[in-house]
Amino acid sequence: MITVNNVGISHSTSEILKRSHLFTNFTIEEIEALLADIPMQHITLEEGDTLYTPYQSDPSTGFLVQGSLKQFVKLHSGSIVQLANIKPVDMVDAQSVFNKGDTSPASLTATSPSKILFITKANLSRLFNKDKRLLYYYMEIISGQAFRMSEQLEHASFLSLHKRVGLYLQSAIRKQLSDEIRIPHTIQDWADQFSTTREALLRTLEKMEDEGIILISEKYVQVLAPDRL
């Protein structure tokens, strides 16, 4: 069940927001001053609650302060593509709040009991007018979210799970400048990124290891033959 409460800024909330990219270069006192007259909503979700579905109007964004969320789309083929695992202090659907229809193309569901601090588009605009640095940091956030969405959809366009894993590892090599790639969180989290099951991903990884393409350890995957990914 989803519950909604109107809230104002508190010291504990400011400490949480300080860890977000939007406010990372501000002091606790500056955050409290910026948000002093900005109304917000505290939304609580139980595991399995869906906050919104595609094209449902909701001109607001916010910060996950507790729990975990997944953002996903259902393709016309019927397959589901997970776009993002949202963790505490991540912004929720920041890239959609300023679109013309005030809607998101994706669904957002709680994967554990969660709390989100929401702020409307109008009040977010007020924040930007108070300090222009906030607009710059916000643009960095939405650019990163849009890039990751595009990357996830590109991964999903490949029919073979082997190819999707290979594309992910190639991208990770370029980002990390290393052929030793850290496995994100858990195998289940990684499987969710590929919109597949944990068992299917493990079978694919084991097959790639048997073929001498990769070497798997507890927390890392070492790419031995990048030309065969």
Q: What is the pLDDT of residue 157?
A: 63
Give residue 57's pLDDT: 65
pLDDT at 5 exceeding the cut of 70: yes
Helix spans in the chain (H):
11-17, 28-35, 121-130, 132-156, 161-176, 187-193, 198-210
Q: Which residues, including other chains, have CB under 8 Å from residue 24's CB and lie 6 or more apart?
A: 18, 137
Asked whether residue 96 carries a pLDDT value surpassing 80, the answer given is no
Tell me which amino acid residue 140 is. E
User: Tell me, what amino acid is at 130?
Assistant: K
Quick check: 189 pLDDT over 60? yes
Q: What was the pLDDT predicted at 140?
A: 92
Higher pLDDT, 34 or 108: 34
Choose from 16-20, 59-63, 142-146 the range with maximum mean pLDDT. Answer: 16-20
Residue 130 main-chain phi, psi, to 5 deg: -75, -35
Phi, psi of 47 (to 5 degrees): -55, 130
50-95 residue pLDDT tens: 887 766 666 688 899 999 998 887 765 566 777 888 999 999 878 7
| Three-class secondary structure assignment of 31-70 | HHHHHCCCCEEEEEECCCCEEECCCCECCEEEEEEECCEE
Long-range contacts made by residues 97-102, C-beta under 8 angstroms, separation at least 24? 97/59, 97/60, 97/61, 97/121, 97/124, 101/55, 101/57, 102/57, 102/58, 102/59
Specify the pLDDT at position 187: 84
Mean pLDDT for 112-131 is 92
Q: Name the residue among 29, 33, 12 with its Cα closest to residue 115.
A: 12
Round to whole Å and give the CA distance between 92 and 66: 12
Query: DSSP 3-state assignment of 114?
Result: strand
Question: How far apart are alpha carbons 97 and 62 in whole angstroms?
Answer: 10
| 77 contacts 123 by C-beta, under 8 angstroms | no
